[in-house]
């Protein structure tokens, strides 16, 4: 599961790049290198750039639950094929969600988001189950 977490962290670390490239094209490098005290002269990003910003925000919203789920299971020593599979499923779904969001492809994006959410909730649920002593 730690390998999945590391891959997800790498995605998280570079996922801001598409939106940043769109901003560079729309606003110019001088604006991006400034303190940005004023809004840019051109306030519109290309549609794919706006989607890239939303995709990155969505990734930031969903990453913490996955992080806590994986770390709690690792800490508790829960390491079966099912939980490793769910961790990698989350990673795959988030990569596919991000790319389909930026590309503007709606239908599969919803499926990827849902599967990713269910994966992270399952990891969290199992961690909570272990902490509560298997109730």
In SS3 terms, the chain reads as CHHHHHHHHHHHHHCCHHHHHHHHHHHCHHHHCCCCCCCCCCCCCCHHHHHHHHHHHHHHHHHHHHHHHHHHHHHHCCCCHHHHHHHHHHHHHHHHHHHHHHHCCHHHHHHHHHHHHHHHHHHHHHHHHHHCCCC
Domain boundaries, the chain: 2-16+46-131
% of the chain with per-residue pLDDT over 70: 99
Of the candidate ranges 30-34, 55-59, 67-71, the one whose mean pLDDT is the lowest: 30-34
Query: Is pLDDT of 135 > 70?
Result: no
- In sequence order, what are the residues at sequence separation of 6 or more whose Cβ sits closer than 8 angstroms to the Cβ of residue 82? none
Question: Given this model, what pLDDT does residue 10 score?
Answer: 97
pLDDT, tens digit (0-9, with 9 covering 90-100), for 38-68: 888 777 899 999 999 999 999 999 999 999 9
Residues 6+ apart with CB under 8 A from 109: 96, 97, 100, 101
| Domain spanning 2-16+46-131: CATH 1.20.120.550 | yes
pTM of the entire structure?
Answer: 0.91
pLDDT tens-digit profile of 91-114? 999 999 999 999 999 999 999 999
Share of the chain above pLDDT 90, in %: 85
Is residue 31 exposed (0-12), middle (13-18) or buried (19+ Cβ within 10 Å)?
middle
Mean model confidence pLDDT for the chain: 95
């Amino acid at each position: 599961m730690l390998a999945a977490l590391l891959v997800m962290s790498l995605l998280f670390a570079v996922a801001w790049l598409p939106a940043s490239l769109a901003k560079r094209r729309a606003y110019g490098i001088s604006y991006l290198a400034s303190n940005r005290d004023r809004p840019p002269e051109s306030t519109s990003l290309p549609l794919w750039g706006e989607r890239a910003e939303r995709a990155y925000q969505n990734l930031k919203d969903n990453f913490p639950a996955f992080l806590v789920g994986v770390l709690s299971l690792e800490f508790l020593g829960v390491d079966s094929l099912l939980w490793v599979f769910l961790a990698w499923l989350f990673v795959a779904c988030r990569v596919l969600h991000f790319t389909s969001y930026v590309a503007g492809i709606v239908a599969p994006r919803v499926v990827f988001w849902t599967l990713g959410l269910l994966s992270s909730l399952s990891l969290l649920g199992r961690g909570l189950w272990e902490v509560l002593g298997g109730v």
